[in-house]
Structure 1
Amino acid sequence: MKDFLPPLRGVLASLLLALNTIVCCTPLFIVSLFKLCLPFPTAQRITDELMRHIHEAWISNNKGWMTLLNHTRWHVEGMQGLDYQHSYLITSNHQSWVDILVLQYVFNRKIRPLKFFLKQELIWVPVIGLAWWALGFPFMKRYSKAYLAKHPEKQGKDLETTRRTCAKFEGKPTAIFNFVEGTRFTEGKHKQQQSPFRYLLKPKAGGIAFVLDAMGEQLQSIVDVTLHYPHGRPGFWDLLCGRVKEVVVHIRETPIPAQFLGKSYDQDAQYRAEFQQWINRMWDEKDVQLGELHGRHD
C-alpha cells in the first residue's frame, strides 16, 4: 500500500497547485485589467498592492500543501535582519526546479515577493505566463554569441530590458532574483564547463551587474542563498509526491561595495573584471560551504 502513497500525493499536490493557481490568477487578471485601464498614480498604487497580496496568497497556499504532504525538515539560517520595507537583490545556486518553490516558501512575507528573471519564451506558458507578466516579472531575450556576431544591433538589448523593467520598481520595495549560474546544476553541465568549483557551475556576473547598474542605489544589499538537499537533488515530481525530506537554506546578507555602483558592466572593462573577481570569490565561499554541508548532512 505504501508504494501507492507517493504517486497519490503527487496527483493530489498537482490538483491543489492547479486549483490554487486558477483561484489566485482569476482576481489577479481582473486587477491587472484595472491597472492597464487606470494609469493614474493612486490607482496604480492600489492595484500594485492588491496584486502583491494575491501573489503572497498564492505562495502561502502552496506552503500549505507542501507542509501537509511533504513533512519536510527545514534548516534555515540567516533570516534575521531582513526587512519587508527594503529592496534586495537575491542570488542563489541552482540545483532543481524545486528551488523556486523553496525560495518562495522561505522568503514569503519576510521580504517582498521575489521577481525572477525569465526567458521570454516562458510568457507563453498557459495561465502562469500571463500571471508572471501581470506581476511585472522581467522577461529576457537571450542571444547566442553567434547570433550577435551576425546581428550586432542586438548587442545590449538585454541591458535595456533590465533597465526598463527595474525602472518600474523605483521608489517601491522590491526583491529582484537572479540565478547566477543561469541554469540548473548537473554533472554533465559541470563537466562540459570544466567548472573550477566542486558543487557549482561557473557564475555569470552580467545579470547581477545589470541590476546594480539599473537600481543599485535603491538596493539595501545582496542576499546570497545557498541551497542544499541532503538526500539528493529532487525533481519537481519528487516535491509533489512528498519525497523532499530535508532542505537546508543558508542566507547571507552582503553589502554592495560602493565601487560597483553607477558603473557600466558592458562598457567598462576594468569594472567588469573586478566585478567578476568579486562574484568568483563569493562562489568560492559558497563552494566551501556546500562542501561542509555535504559532510555534515550526507
Structure 2
Amino acid sequence: MRRLLTALSVTLLLVLNTLILIGPLLLIALGKFALPGRALKAASSRGVMWVAETWAELNKLIFACLLPTAWDIRGGGELRRDTSYLVISNHQSWVDIPALVQAFNRKTPYFKFFLKQQLIWVPLLGLAFWALDYPFMKRYSKALLAKHPELKGQDLAITKRACEKFRELPVTVVNYLEGTRFTPVKHAQQQSPYRYLLKPKAGGVAFVLAALGEQLDAVLDVTLVYPGRQIPGFWALISGQVPRVIVDIRTRPLDPALWQGDYENDGEFRQQVQDWVSQLWREKDARIAQLRDEARVEAREPVEAQGLAGK
C-alpha cells in the first residue's frame, strides 16, 4: 500500500507540473514561427528551453521529497551551459532519462533526443517534444528498404534538417548507440560480444557528427548502473523501489577526423568511425563491470561492520 501511495503521489505531482507548464511552453514556442527576425526567434527558443529546464528542476524536487533514490553522480564538474555536447550513454530503462536530468539539467544546454515518430502522438508530451525541436525519426526495416530503395538515406536527411535548428544555440544531443533498451533476451538474440551492453550502431552517431560536428565541443561518455540484480522500470522508481542510481560521466575530446568524411559512401571512413565506437563500447562494458563490483563491495561493507560491532 505504501508503494502504491508513493507512486500515485509522484504521478499526480508530475502530471500537475506538466499541465501547469505546458501552456507557457507552447505559447512561447509559437514565437519561433510568428515573430520576425532571427534574434526574436532565438529569444523564443531560449524561452522554451528555460520553461523545459524549470519543469525538469521541479521534477527533481518532487523526486527528492518523495523518493529514497540516491543519485550517485560521478564526474562532470567541468560542465558548462555555453557549449555544445554529444552525450553517448548505455540504455537500459525509462529511468535512464530521469538519471540524465539529475546529472545535466541546468549544468549543460537542455537535451535533444532523437525520438520515434510515434511519440509525437503522446498526449501533451508530443506537443512538448515538437516545441522543443526534438527530431522525430522514421525507422525503416531492411525488408522495406529492399522493396523501396528510394527511402534509403531519409533518416540522414531528417537528422541533418533537425541539426540545422541546433546551430543557433548551444545544445546537448543525446544518442543511445544501442538503439533500444538492454534486456537479457535482446542480448542473447544479438549474441552481443559485450557483457552488459547490446551491439552499438555507429550510423546514428556518424550522422549527428556529420551534421553538427563543428559545433560540438566534447563527448560526454555516460555510464548508467543500477546496483542490484534487476534493471528497474519507471514504476519501480516512482514507487520508491530504486535505492541508488550511479551516473558515471567521462568527458572525452572529439577528434575532428570523426566527422570529416562520408560515412555512407567511404568504406575506409566508415570503418574508422565503427572502430571508434567499438573501442568506446569495450571501455564502457569494462567500466560497468567495475562500477557493479564496487557497488557490491559497498553493499557488503555495512553488514560486515555491523557484524564486527556485535562481537
**Contact 2:219/2:254 (CA < 8 Å) preserved in 1?**
yes
After TM superposition, what 4+ stretches of structure 1 lie above 2 angstroms from structure 2? none
* TM-score computed with the length of structure 1 as normaliser: 0.97
Q: What corresponds to 2:82 in structure 1?
A: 85
Does residue 181 in structure 1 map to residue 148 in structure 2?
Answer: no
Shift of 1:39: 4.0
Partners of 1:51 and 1:290 lie apart in 2 by: 35
Partners of 1:210 and 1:63 lie apart in 2 by: 32
Q: What corresponds to 1:284 in structure 2?
A: 282
| Higher mean displacement: 67-76 or 172-181 | 67-76
2:11 alignment partner, one of 10, 14, 38: 14
Partners of 2:162 and 2:149 lie apart in 1 by: 22
Shift of 1:11: 0.5
Shift of 1:35: 2.3
* TM-score computed with the length of structure 2 as normaliser: 0.93
Q: Secondary structure of the residue that 2:246 maps to in structure 1?
A: strand
Q: Secondary structure of the residue that 1:112 maps to in structure 2?
A: coil
**Contact 2:42/2:168 (CA < 8 Å) preserved in 1?**
no
1:161 alignment partner, one of 158, 162, 167: 158
Q: What corresponds to 1:142 in structure 2?
A: 139
Does residue 259 in structure 1 map to residue 243 in structure 2?
Answer: no
Partners of 1:8 and 1:51 lie apart in 2 by: 33
**Contact 1:225/1:251 (CA < 8 Å) preserved in 2?**
yes
Aligned partner letter, 2:138: K
Partners of 1:101 and 1:245 lie apart in 2 by: 14
Structure of higher CA gyration radius: 2
Structure 2 segments unaligned to the other structure (5+ residues)? 297-311
Aligned partner letter, 1:94: H
Partners of 1:49 and 1:259 lie apart in 2 by: 31
Partners of 1:127 and 1:279 lie apart in 2 by: 35
Partners of 2:104 and 2:181 lie apart in 1 by: 21
Q: What corresponds to 1:248 in structure 2?
A: 246
Shift of 1:43: 1.7
Shift of 1:171: 3.9
Partners of 1:171 and 1:29 lie apart in 2 by: 19
Q: Secondary structure of the residue that 1:220 maps to in structure 2?
A: strand
Q: Secondary structure of the residue that 2:167 maps to in structure 1?
A: coil
**Contact 2:71/2:102 (CA < 8 Å) preserved in 1?**
no
**Contact 1:226/1:249 (CA < 8 Å) preserved in 2?**
yes
Aligned partner letter, 1:245: P
Between the two proteins, the alignment pairs up a number of residues equal to: 295
Does residue 295 in structure 1 map to residue 297 in structure 2?
Answer: no
**Structure 1 segment 62-211 matched on structure 2, within 5 A:** 62-211=59-208
**Contact 1:69/1:241 (CA < 8 Å) preserved in 2?**
no
**Contact 1:74/1:246 (CA < 8 Å) preserved in 2?**
yes
1:48 alignment partner, one of 23, 45, 53: 45
Q: What corresponds to 2:300 in structure 1?
A: none
Shift of 1:34: 2.6
**Contact 1:104/1:113 (CA < 8 Å) preserved in 2?**
no
Partners of 1:171 and 1:38 lie apart in 2 by: 16
Aligned partner letter, 2:225: H
